[in-house]
A and B are shown apart, each in its own frame.
Chain A
């Protein structure tokens, strides 16, 4: 059972399994007819011993702080609580695997690798403080108290509802001996930026090999120009947008005057 990761500096011994993978598309271009994309990944497992292998593909978008509020009833009206900011949440996350993650590795392993939406290292630092409890110093206490798990689960649940987080238990399929294929659905709402794609090979419940790939989602063409203009020079964009709107309205009144 002692499948130990080799020290990273040494070349892997010949009898260790190695995973290799490539994305068929490394640049997703967001233009005016962007409606989401499907990213296909092919990879191979080289294992002379031919042990049982499981592959997990984790695609992680740029981190974005999440602001979340809870509705509560005040005087008959449902209103939002003070928003809580969660840090460390990726803007996009999908974990695709050959089998359910819980069957591939134990809790501690998955947690360390942040494999699976339940194992993402999301926390709300602004709500935390350290204090001494039962004589133990620096115990992290959250102001959200016992509800903390509910909040954390709600972040994942709402992101899943927006198709931004997903777990695909059979998203990786072996198409031939040692050759696997994964398909990642990227929704139109997926954030812009660099995505980290991590391909992990598991044997006997332990990660034995991994590869990292990057995927870039970027706006191109007019969309990129407008977006950059609106965010980098917001005042000139605002003035130009309004001038355009007023001119369009003025032109329209002339167009219909003739009729």
Chain B
């Protein structure tokens, strides 16, 4: 059953989209990530214009994060104050990101920047995560204890002004690093059509040194605010949000996420991380390596007429 998407102006197979939403939702529920990095490339591959895919994903990611942040909130696993500070940076980042994306589209370089961002960020994050999780799996096999975690926080985190207390995260740090982190993720969310959890979660653990229990919930909370703003800005500035597309993905996504969360308890944490790292690496390589191959068709039509 095909359905015509009014904003994307293409006809797509509706059950296929719902199934895709479910699959990505399953993965996102299993690993506790938004899944935007996986969904956006698949949508582009299905023939949806990249600008529409990126913008509509903001709505999808906001909705799916909303459905899971509520359960984290009930478990008191959200640091709302830290989330708010991150989101303040995220707001700046998403405004800048939407304008940057608009400018890149005018220059005709949006595809390049999207592909490079996927290659660089997914490559780095996936590579690091894979390395770390393989190390953990090997250590467990050999029964060697984990190396003592260096708990010394980076000195620059303490040297900065504008300190603030974050009781739930048991932190007393400057607000500058979280704002900068939020802004960076906001730009990524506008350009790559992702929530940015894959950058946010490791940064919160390794840079801000937040306790593991509140990291995922807080990152989801910040993602809701940032993607909500990005989605409204994309619709207002670029008219590229297809609500029908987002709704179709959401139906499958919500269902898939519930099953994914249940399935995740059957695997060990480091095995899950290794698997996720592989998926992240593959997506990054698939998106980015095309830049290095000689194209069959040297010319490319740009969507939009530059207005």
Output the least CB separation between A52 and chain B (Å). 40
B60 to chain A, nearest CB (A): 7
The verdict on A245 contacting chain B, using a C-beta distance below 8 Å, is: yes
Q: Is the CB of B228 within 8 A of A246?
A: yes
Q: When A and B form their complex, what is the total count of cross-chain residue pairs whose Cβ atoms lie within 8 Å?
A: 184
* Residues A35 and B4 in contact in the complex (CB < 8 Å), given A70-B299, A238-B233, A246-B224: yes
Residue numbers in B under 8 Å from A254 (CB-CB) = 70
Contact with A along B54-70 (1 / 0, CB 8 A): 00000110111111101
In the bound assembly, the distance between CA atoms of A67 and B108 in angstroms comes to 9
Residues of chain A in range 226-259 having any CB-CB distance to chain B below 8 Å? 226-227, 230-231, 234-235, 237-239, 241-242, 244-246, 248-250, 252-254, 256-257, 259
A15 within 8 A of B: no
Known: A80-B112, A235-B235. A32 touches B3 (CB 8 A): yes
**Could you say which of A226, A227, A253 has the most chain B C-beta atoms within 10 Å of its C-beta?**
A253
**Inter-subunit contact B70/A230 (CB<8 Å):** no
Interface contact A234-B239, CB-CB below 8 Å: yes
A82 B108 Cβ-Cβ under 8 A? yes
Contact A246 B235 (CB under 8 A): no
Q: A68, A77, A244: which contacts B300 (Cβ < 8 A)?
A: A68
The answer to whether B70 touches A151 (Cβ under 8 A) is no
On whether the beta carbons of A65 and B235 are closer than 8 Å, the reply is no
Contact B111 A80, beta carbon cutoff 8 Å = yes
Q: Are B247 and A248 in contact (CB under 8 A)?
A: yes
Is there an interface contact between B254 and A78, defined as CB atoms closer than 8 Å?
no
Pairwise interchain contact B4-A223, C-beta atoms closer than 8 A: yes
Question: A75-111 interface mask toward B, CB cutoff 8 Å, 1 = contact, 0 = none?
Answer: 0111111110100000000000000000000000000
Name the residue of chain B whose CB is nearest to the CB of A187. B11
A34 within 8 A of B: yes
Q: How far is the CB of B32 from chain A (nearest CB, A)?
A: 15
Is B155's beta carbon under 8 Å from chain A? no
A226 CB contact (under 8 Å) in B7, B70, B234: B7
Q: Which of B63, B234, B250 contacts A238 (CB 8 A)?
A: B234
What residues of chain A lie closer than 8 Å to B9, measured between beta carbons? 189
* Interface residue B243 (Cβ < 8 Å from any Cβ of A): yes
Query: Hey, which chain B residues are within 8 Å of A82, CB to CB?
Result: 107-108
Kindly state the separation between the CA atoms of A245 and B66 in the bound complex, as whole angstroms. 9
Does B235 lie within 8 Å of A67, measured CB to CB? no
Task: Give residues of chain B (34-69) contacting chain A, Cβ–Cβ below 8 Å.
Answer: 59-60, 62-68
**Chain B positions within 8 Å of A78 at CB level:** 291-295
Known contacts A71-B298, A238-B241; decide if A249 and B66 are in contact (CB<8 Å). Answer: yes
Question: In the complex the two chains form, what is the Cα distance from A242 to B239 in whole Å?
Answer: 13
Which residues on the B side are within 8 Å of A188 (C-beta)? 4, 10-11
CB-based contact A80/B70 at 8 Å: no
Q: Contacts of B241 on A, CB cut-off 8 Å?
A: 230, 237-238, 241
B304 at the interface (CB under 8 A from A): yes
Whether a CB of chain A sits under 8 angstroms from the CB of B211 is no
Known contacts A30-B4, A35-B11: A65-B306 contact under CB 8 Å? yes
Residue B89 lies at the interface, judged by CB distance under 8 Å to chain A: no
**A18 at the B interface (CB under 8 A):** no
Chain B hits for A128, CB < 8 A: none
**Known A68-B302, A78-B292, A253-B71; further 16 A-B contacts with Cβ < 8 A:** A34-B11, A68-B299, A69-B108, A70-B299, A71-B300, A73-B294, A77-B291, A79-B291, A82-B108, A157-B297, A158-B297, A189-B10, A237-B235, A241-B231, A245-B59, A249-B65
Chain A residues engaging chain B, CB cutoff 8 angstroms: 30-36, 64-73, 76-83, 85, 151, 154-155, 157-159, 161-162, 188-189, 219, 222-224, 226-227, 230-231, 234-235, 237-239, 241-242, 244-246, 248-250, 252-254, 256-257, 259
Residues of B within 8 A of A (CB): 1-4, 6-7, 9-11, 59-60, 62-68, 70-71, 107-109, 111-112, 224, 228, 231-237, 239, 241, 243-244, 246-247, 250, 254, 258, 291-295, 297-302, 304-306
Can you list 27 A-B contacts with CB-CB less than 8 angstroms, sorted by A residue number? A30-B4, A67-B301, A67-B302, A68-B300, A68-B302, A71-B295, A71-B300, A77-B112, A78-B295, A79-B109, A154-B297, A157-B299, A188-B4, A189-B9, A223-B4, A223-B6, A230-B239, A241-B241, A241-B243, A245-B59, A245-B62, A245-B66, A248-B254, A250-B66, A253-B66, A253-B67, A253-B70
Q: Name the 10 nearest CB pairs between A and B, nearest first.
A: A238-B235, A249-B66, A154-B299, A249-B63, A67-B302, A83-B108, A245-B63, A188-B11, A238-B232, A252-B254
